[in-house]
Amino acid sequence: MRSWSHTERGGPIESLRERKRERSRAATVEAAWRLFIERGYDQVTVQDICVAADIAPRTFHRYFPSKDDVVAEPMRRMTALALEGIAAAPDGTPDAATLHRALLAVGSFVVEHRELLTGLRTVVLQSSHLRANPPSVRPDQEARLVTQLAARGDRDPAGWRLRLLVACAVAGFRVWYEDYLHEAPPDPLAHLDAVLHTAVDPHTG
């Protein structure tokens, strides 16, 4: 099962600094998630997380600009996976198909981590603040998907067709994501495939 902590770079060539940093960051994330699930988002302060993860609040805010970002961490991970999926697609594949496949891979990642993600979903639903500001794919992350997609071939990253394609794909994935965590259908990836078929495939060509 793919893990949460990952180094964004392929090789295992990490300096001691980076390893320490990643370990500390991962510990922080896991401590935060555990506390959130136990007590609820609003009942856990940054201070609490720092005590559990054994770091200073000042350091916490170096890892995460805001407390919300800890909850949004899975989104970042999923976007990173999608980027990898796009980069790995063979040249010549239409953009829509590339995105479709990349998001299917993200979907299988979600399925692998269903338990944790449903836990975090409950955390979001139970916090009035998170309900109003739910974790989502940030515009800069979406822009990265566009850029990555445009990098294959000579497409214009600023063109509205490409941006629309990505926006619809992300929207479709989100619709499936909500369905899946709410009531896991028997064959979730087939469901995702169907949703993406409607959302993404019309943009082919």
Partner DNA sequence: GGGAATGTGGCACAATCTGCCACGAGGCAG
Partner DNA sequence: CTGCCTCGTGGCAGATTGTGCCACATTCCC
CB 118 within 8 A of CB 177: no
Q: How far is the CB of 156 from DNA (least distance, A)?
A: 33
Query: Which of 34, 138, 152, 155 is close enough to bind a copy of itself by CB under 8 A?
Result: 138
**By CB under 7 A, residue 54 contacts DNA:** yes
In angstroms, the CA 21 to CA 31 distance is 15
By a kind-dependent CB cut-off of 5 to 8 A, residue 204 interacts, out of DNA, a copy of itself, none, with none
Query: Which of 5, 66, 198, 204 is close enough to bind DNA by CB under 7 A?
Result: 66
By a kind-dependent CB cut-off of 5 to 8 A, residue 55 interacts, out of a copy of itself, DNA, none, with DNA
Nearest alpha carbon to residue 70 among 107, 18, 123: 123
Q: How far is the CB of 200 from a copy of itself (least distance, A)?
A: 10
**By CB under 8 A, residue 170 contacts a copy of itself:** yes
Q: What is the 3-state secondary structure (H, E, C) of 39-91?
A: HCHHHCCHHHHHHHHCCCHHHHHHHCCCCHHHHCHHHHHHHHHHHHHHHHCCC
* Residue closer to a copy of itself (CB basis): 31 or 79: 79
Residue span 172-191 as binding mask against a copy of itself, x where in contact by CB under 8 A, dash where not: x-xxx-xx-----------x
Angstrom distances, CA of residue 166 to CA of 53, 70, 115, 163:
36, 24, 27, 5
Q: How many beta carbons lie within 10 A of that of residue 32, not counting itself?
A: 24
Q: How far is the CB of 24 from a copy of itself (least distance, A)?
A: 22
Both tokens of 141, joined, read: 């992350």
Nearest alpha carbon to residue 66 among 145, 154, 11, 129: 129
**By CB under 8 A, residue 199 contacts a copy of itself:** yes
**By CB under 7 A, residue 198 contacts DNA:** no
**By CB under 8 A, residue 67 contacts a copy of itself:** no
Q: Where do contacts with DNA occur on this chain (CB under 7 A)?
A: 15-18, 20-21, 24, 44-47, 54-59, 61-63, 65-68, 129
